[in-house]
Amino acid sequence: MKISAIVASFALVGFCFTANAATLNNIVVYATAQSNGSMSVGDKSAYTKTFEVVVAKLSGKDMDLSKLCLKAYTPDNKAFKLDTVDEALTTGMLKDGKPVKGIATFASEDDAVFKAALVKTSDDCK
């Protein structure tokens, strides 16, 4: 009896991950590079790249924007985390035919972020 409960649990977990991935496949991100920059405080410094971002949903259920993460990628697939973002891209629901637009800035301790050319959605917000 315990084994069937474990198998059922794994099946449900797999289904949940599949449903979440399918949701992200219905999200389109249009990103236009706006600027490169930097910031420093004492001995600490960082490099930044800013994009104008439009996020739209192609189909399916409405998406909670607070659960959607944006990451920037270089052509060799190096990822950069979001540093600063317009509230419009992180609050409310994303609905069919109602794209949201805002500015997203990504940061790195080295200037590799300047090579970022692609912005994607992710469910890995770490």
Give me the mean pLDDT over the 25-37 stretch: 94
pTM: predicted TM-score of the whole model, two decimal places: 0.78
Domain ranges of the chain: 2-122
Superfamily of domain 2-122 in CATH is Protein of unknown function DUF4354 (2.60.40.4110)
Tokens 């419009």, residue located = 88
The SS3 assignment for 59 reads: coil
Beta-carbon contacts of residue 3 (< 8 Å; ≥ 6 apart): none
Type and span of the H or E element at 103? strand 100-108
Q: 71-112: per-residue pLDDT in tens?
A: 999 999 999 999 999 999 999 999 988 999 999 999 999 999
How high is the pLDDT of residue 20?
Answer: 43
